[in-house]
Chain A
Amino acid sequence: MNKFKICFLILIIILTILATGCWDMVEINERIFPYTAGIDNNYQSVDQKDKYIISFSYPNINALGNNPSSATKVFSVSTEASNIFEATHNLSNQIQEPIDLKHLKVLSISEDVAKDPNSIRQILDGINRDFVINKMVHLMVVKGSARELFNVKVKSQRQEAIDGSIYSILRNRQNSTRFTPKTINRFIRDMDTQGASHMPVGIAGNNEVIVSGAGVFKNYKLVGYLNEMENRDMAILNGDLVQDGLDTQYEDSNLSLLIANLKSKRKIITVDEDIKVIFNVQVEGQINEFILDDNDKIDSDLIIKDMEKVLCKEMEKGLNKTIYKLQRELNADVIGILEHLYRFHPSLWEQVKDDWDSIFPQLDIKVNIDLNIRRRGLTT
């Protein structure tokens, strides 16, 4: 028995030495956590080798805290590589510590790269496949070069250091509809279900990073852009809009409505082989601004009804224009019609899914808006 006790003791000692996981011990301050990665085309590349310029921006830990010992809050580095993972290795000759992509928040892709569907497929597959990278990475397409976007010195530096300015905007705490954030998981999902998706567009301005509108992708290829208003219309159709304003002219003065609640429902009607899509949009809002004039009081049911009518018309005009653009110019179903068919009309979906590219531009899409002004503010 004694022998066994000794054997056991040796076993335990070996275990404690071998099984403590020391191989992977890296102190957290000895890692670099980039929050933004950017991908540009490398025009100097020969034979597809190192075909991208990949940039990372990461916080300078020494510049944080109470007594910062360094002034630059954000560093950005870039290198030539054929993918984002190779880039982290290539960069080891420029920076002191290993790059860990675990907390990557934003992937910005330059316009040129986005126009090549193969590149996008490869880049997204790498991120989707990787064990470490979070799948909630926000995607963004950059007009111009992604690297330059990182080097923009931002005026409003409040959150810049910890979050990264681009991520702070993209998180969309302001419920903006000027752009619609898109994570990689959602993007791939859109591609799978309807073959088209969109991601916000970043522009490097003078002293500011502007995120505005949407780049529309079709089969992983950038096919066009939506401006801010069109992006809002798309958000309305998708029911993504949380809060926004709606402006129109009413009796020579500006009437501004705050949309507080919005629901959008898709309805499919089939009349012998013809598919008709109806978007039922329900809007509730309150009046933001009208005019301080005793003749123009909002005090009767008639006026409110009339205002609702005018606002409805304004909204419908915009929506129809955007739908026309999506159908005819971009031929990209980013308003979820195919997915709706798949969910609720599987047999119809079976018939149309293969020819959706030719069916979608010819679809009869109608918008019904039910707009209600619920509140008029403090004054009449």
Chain B
Amino acid sequence: MKKEPKISSIQVKGLIISSIIGVGVLSLPNTLANILEKDGWIPIIITGPLIILFLTIIIHMFRKNPGKDYFEIGRENLGDSLFTIFLLIFFVYLLIAAAFVVRNLGELIKAFLLPRTPMEVIIGSFILVTSYIATYEIDVIARTGYFIYPITIIFSILLILMALPRADFGNILPTFQADFRNIPKGILMTFFSYTGFEIILFAIPHVEDKENVLKSSISGIATVTIIYSALFIMTLTQFNIEQIQRQTFPVLMMAKLLDLPGYFLQNLDNIFLGIWVLVVFATLAPIYYGAGKIVSEIFKTKKHKYYILILAPIIYFLALWPKNIVEVYRRLGTIFNILGIISVLLLPLLLCIVSSIKGREAKK
């Protein structure tokens, strides 16, 4: 007999944190510093509440349609064919997201840890390892996230604490000098660092205690917001703004700069990156799982297990498609951004609106 997968609301919090924080945070200060200079923390603290608002709407939608999962709600409200088109876009987005994450991680590992290992091997093995977890149901994914999120948080806090002795808080000044017309762009870029929370679309129908799910997802997003803004401000205290704009991975550079008295700790970037592989693993697993789940939904099969293995080579080739790191951001990044807005923001919003209209009509 098949058991229905169940997850608890605390696991949802872990899942959200571990699936949002990934490779994006390592370069986030750089992106924001290029747009808003020293005021890059403003978009972070604006985007956090926006995401919370958005999640509230989604959770409300699931409450209105008890017992149904995301796909059922979609088909009911948008019709089979239209929803399938949206699902296809969502699917491509997840694939690109997976490729983007894997490629970024591959570049980092190759640069910092394994300079002579071929990129193909790094990427291939990472995809294969993740495919193992992605073949399981959402409860396993949620438990993985729940196990890994303390690691994410502890190491972020450790990094911040160890950078404190060298921090020069005068460097944060002057504030509010940037061009505020760039804030929307900043919010948009920050939004992509928050992507990953879409796993909640698959997770919520399986949550046992549905009353607490909103609370735990809010605390999840809040944690991410705090970590993001703390890391941004810490990079500001370590470097001047021009250096942050120059460096691709300011957070990693910060780990490199750590120099506790004596030889106690130095060159922490390798250790930090080694642990970050685990964190990225928890980011990739939900994305990969989601992609498999969507294919299985499109072909109307019950299990998504076998599609995962079919997807592995697709992600592999997508990840190896850009020739260099600049192309990674230009090609994968642009597609990722456009599809991300459609499938993560617009589709759920559309569903919410349609379902609420339909609900009202049904009442009449």
Contact = CB atoms under 8 A, between A and B. Distances in A.
A30 to B, nearest CB: 14
Interface string A1-40: 0000000000100010011010110000000000000000
B121 A346 contact: no
Interface string B223-242: 00000000000000001111
B117 A185 contact: no
Interface in A339-360: 342-344, 346
A23 B117 contact: yes
A193 interface: yes
A268 to B, nearest CB: 13
A193 B173 contact: no
A23 B118 contact: yes
B257 A192 contact: no
Contact of A23 (B114, B174, B246, B253): B114
Chain B interface mostly? helix
Interface string B257-286: 101000000110000000000000000000
Interface stretch (A72-80, A130-138, A278-286, A289-297): A130-138
A315 interface: no
Contacts of A49: none
A376 interface: no
B: interface residue count bin: 20 to 34
Interface in A320-369: 342-344, 346
A185 B242 contact: no
Contacts of B171: 343
Contacts of A102: 267
Interface of A: 11, 15, 18-19, 21, 23-24, 102-103, 128, 131, 134-136, 185, 188-189, 192-193, 342-344, 346
26 contacts: A11-B128, A15-B128, A18-B121, A18-B124, A19-B121, A19-B129, A23-B114, A23-B116, A23-B121, A24-B116, A24-B117, A131-B111, A134-B267, A135-B256, A136-B259, A185-B243, A189-B243, A192-B241, A192-B242, A192-B243, A342-B174, A343-B170, A343-B171, A343-B174, A344-B174, A346-B177
Given A15-B129, A103-B267, A344-B173, 18 more contacts: A15-B125, A19-B128, A21-B117, A23-B116, A23-B121, A24-B117, A131-B112, A134-B267, A135-B253, A135-B256, A136-B259, A185-B243, A188-B243, A189-B242, A192-B240, A192-B242, A343-B174, A346-B177
Closest 9 CB pairs of A and B: A19-B125, A192-B242, A343-B173, A346-B174, A23-B117, A131-B111, A189-B240, A23-B116, A24-B114
